[in-house]
Amino acid sequence: MSAEPSRVFVVIAEFQVKPDSMPAFLEAAADDARHSLADEPGCRQFDVVEIAGGDGAVVFYEVYDDRAAFDRHLTTPHLKRFQAAFPALIVEERPVRFAERYHPHG
């Protein structure tokens, strides 16, 4: 008998970072990602991805057990630190997108 397919809640956040601010932005993002994974049982994955090409695009690919786990993430001290740090470092924050990742293998 095969396992039930599993689904998880995915968050995709995109930023256009000022060229001279990339190191500071990545440091703030890494703090958020590191603490999300270590301190939030419902956070399965948190990747900070700098898009190749040097234009300053950064994508967060976050995976949570469900929407409730993500909602808990929104109240954490590490996210509050990131939210305080990043506005001065970016040109633009694109609208956050939500998705559902499907795993046919359970």
Tokens coding 92? 């633009």
Q: pLDDT digits over 5-58, tens only? A: 688 999 999 999 998 999 999 999 999 999 999 999 999 999 999 999 979 999
Which amino acid is residue 96, in one-letter code? Answer: V
DSSP 33-54: HHHHHHH-TTEEEEEEEEPTTS
Task: Sketch out the chain's domains with CATH numbers.
Answer: 12-96 (3.30.70.100)
- Has this prediction a pTM greater than 0.85? yes
